[in-house]
Structure 1
Amino acid sequence: MLRPTPGAIVMAAYEPDPELFRRQIRSIAAQTVTDFICVISPDSDPAPIRALLSEAAPGDERFTVIDTGGERLGFYLNFERGLLSVPPQAEWVALADQDDWWYPEKLETLLPHLTTHGMVSGQARLVEYPSGAVLGQTDRRNGTLERLMLSNQFTGSLSVLRRELLELALPFPRLSTRAAAHDHWLAVCAAATSGTHITSDVVQDYVQHSANVFGDPTSMPSRPSLIQSWRNARKMSRGAEGDDGVLAVVRTTYNVYVGWRQAMTSTLAQRRDDDASLNVLERSFGSRRRLRALLPNLRVAVRDGYVPRGFAVQYLASWMCGTITPRRRRG
């Protein structure tokens, strides 16, 4: 068995389903690696979450609910808040959603890979709630930094990372919280420094239900219709901009794809300005990006099945939106 080192599990919580939350807490408490604390960051009134925790893990001092005063930040920044609370003695960090179910050996399986990589992910079984139907399994894939920047393969709830990575990653880049993804940013930071790795091990159930913030990203249709794409864009715009007019949709479409990657590239460049390898990212994703640098990588990613064709179409649409929004000039 792995000799444990002290670590931290960070869970973002928002009005959780009581049954799923209690089950998730119990699955974390039952890990074969036991030397950790679990920091729960509530994005709503913390009192109900504390009550559920006392029911699920009574007397287990490894679990703590931080006092957020009920301040609502949204999924992305709530994870940042939780990560900022990780104690300095933690040597590794795992991310947790409030409604999945971890297999007992999850941490024991993933943590040894941190000796050679900065961030590691396993796979998950997709399980529908409340029916319990098994919908399939994730198929996360290893790739280069450029490919990872293009298409995130890391779901936070499947991942563990070295504590030292937070020194680069925090604070998170600021952009629309509907566009930004904490796990994508952490994975890019790891890929740009100490490397990433995805194993074939199935380490948990990834619960799919109507309240999922994102759900399984591999479910994107390969050829979405124009009508469906427009409806999706308007829905995202209403969430991010509070408006679904044409200009709001243009801004949101830009942010979700090209703008978010520009924000990550710019933040990396500011924090690692001596890293010549970031020039490659700048040519495809930064404020001085060029389509001729991106297109070969996008074409090969589609050919290899790394991204669906529908993603490529939407990414190019986002690129075009960037030609008429001032966000690019501001970097």
Structure 2
Amino acid sequence: MPFDSHSFGIIALAAYQPDWDLFRTQLLSIQAQTYKNFLCLISADGGDAEIEDFVARELSGDDRFKVLGFPDRLGFYGNFERVLRQVPSHADWVALSDQDDSWYPTKIETLLPHLGSVSLVAGQARVVRLPGNQVVAESTQRSNVGLGSLLAQNQVTGSLCVFRRDLLDLALPFPRLETITQVHDHWLAVCAKATGGVRLVSDVVQDYVQHGGNVLGEVAGRKSPAQSLDHLRAMSRKYQGSGSPAAMLKTANDLSFGWRRVMADALRKRLGITDGVDDALAAYETGHGWRSTSRTLVAGLRRGEIALPCFLEFMAGVPVELFAKGSRS
């Protein structure tokens, strides 16, 4: 179908205790879009009264913005799933929004036409650090990669993408694995890549604002081996309840193979065996063969589609993967 000025869409914004100045900037940037035919659903994670009052006041009662309040807090992954469940079936497209960025006026207008040929399109962002609005990078420089590499390393930032409404028929409900690598945009991206396709374009469509409250950041310094070990131990204590060596090995596996296995298994179940995606799923799903896994990871590394730190994270997850495979055989 053509996606033009008559196509109605939903902007799904997940909010939680926002910085009010940043939230105001984001709301106003959405309101100022040159593309006007949308409804912005704002999911307030754990309460809504203060957010609802703020939105009504700052946007002068613009009825294209609707706040959905929920008493329970789910975190950003669950909150995005919750707001996407509210997208009406008659919508043509969906755009995801964080609460603290700043969209350029032509963002939706620029991205929407690409949905005539792919299921999901994503642009680039200029990375800005606060305080001081320091420009860290002129572009996020995400790139188009194959499904095997996309499963290994996500190239799609949720706040930069627009996708067809029917993608939600496959993507909902979200699969679950309690780890920091469990993210909504990665799951939506692989669902789109496995079906109607993903396109990353070079257009810079917004500022991606980095500050102390980011759940996931864009720019981080390279960690030393000791810092990496401390980070892994902290993640292990958070998600495994222990900083023991065994718990750290399990965490390393969950951060790499675990989340990809959850996605691959979910797609296998929902799609069945599908020409063109079977090899990619086989590299990560439960009971995967090491030949296909190593071939996929090494090929992605050589092509520059998988960064070396990501490849090394997979290597850290190998011991538990081998043990699990030995237990099944």
**TM-score after normalising by structure 2:** 0.93
Contact 2:5/2:37, CA 8 A, preserved across alignment: no
Relative to structure 1, the CA distance from residue 128 to residue 220 in structure 2 (aligned partners, 3 Å threshold; closer, same or farther) is closer
Letter in 2 for 1:17: D
- The 5-angstrom pairing of residues 111-126 of structure 1 reads 111-126=112-127
Residue-by-residue CA offset, 1:221-269 (whole Å, 9 max, x unaligned): 4xx5321221121222233334333333222221111010000111011
- The 5-angstrom pairing of residues 1-331 of structure 1 reads 2-69=4-71, 71-136=72-137, 137-216=139-218, 219=220, 221=222, 224-324=223-323
Relative to structure 1, the CA distance from residue 186 to residue 220 in structure 2 (aligned partners, 3 Å threshold; closer, same or farther) is farther
Letter in 2 for 1:296: R
Contact 1:77/1:177, CA 8 A, preserved across alignment: no
Tell me how far apart the structure 2 counterparts of residues 94 and 290 of structure 1 sit (CA, whole Å).
36
Q: How far off its partner does 1:323 sit?
A: 3.2
Tell me how far apart the structure 2 counterparts of residues 167 and 90 of structure 1 sit (CA, whole Å).
13
Letter in 2 for 1:99: D
The 3-state SS of whatever aligns with 2:60 is coil
Structure 1 alignment gaps of length 5 or more = none
Q: How far off its partner does 1:120 sit?
A: 0.4
Q: Runs of 4 or more off by more than 4 Å in structure 1?
A: none
Relative to structure 1, the CA distance from residue 228 to residue 325 in structure 2 (aligned partners, 3 Å threshold; closer, same or farther) is farther
Contact 2:120/2:162, CA 8 A, preserved across alignment: yes
Letter in 2 for 1:323: L
Tell me how far apart the structure 2 counterparts of residues 142 and 62 of structure 1 sit (CA, whole Å).
33
Once the two structures are overlaid, the 10-residue window that deviates more, 236-245 or 4-13, is 236-245
The 3-state SS of whatever aligns with 2:70 is coil
Tell me how far apart the structure 2 counterparts of residues 130 and 299 of structure 1 sit (CA, whole Å).
40
Contact 1:22/1:55, CA 8 A, preserved across alignment: no
Tell me how far apart the structure 2 counterparts of residues 208 and 167 of structure 1 sit (CA, whole Å).
32
Once the two structures are overlaid, the 10-residue window that deviates more, 7-16 or 283-292, is 283-292
Q: How far off its partner does 1:131 sit?
A: 1.2
Q: How far off its partner does 1:127 sit?
A: 0.3
Contact 2:9/2:92, CA 8 A, preserved across alignment: yes
Tell me how far apart the structure 2 counterparts of residues 209 and 115 of structure 1 sit (CA, whole Å).
35
Tell me how far apart the structure 2 counterparts of residues 220 and 273 of structure 1 sit (CA, whole Å).
41
The 3-state SS of whatever aligns with 2:69 is coil
Tell me how far apart the structure 2 counterparts of residues 210 and 242 of structure 1 sit (CA, whole Å).
25
Letter in 1 for 2:54: L
Structure 2 alignment gaps of length 5 or more = none
Contact 1:177/1:240, CA 8 A, preserved across alignment: yes
Q: How far off its partner does 1:2 sit?
A: 4.6
Cα root mean square deviation, aligned: 1.9
Letter in 2 for 1:78: N
The 3-state SS of whatever aligns with 1:9 is strand
Q: How far off its partner does 1:298 sit?
A: 2.0
Q: How far off its partner does 1:305 sit?
A: 2.6
**TM-score after normalising by structure 1:** 0.92
Relative to structure 1, the CA distance from residue 206 to residue 196 in structure 2 (aligned partners, 3 Å threshold; closer, same or farther) is same
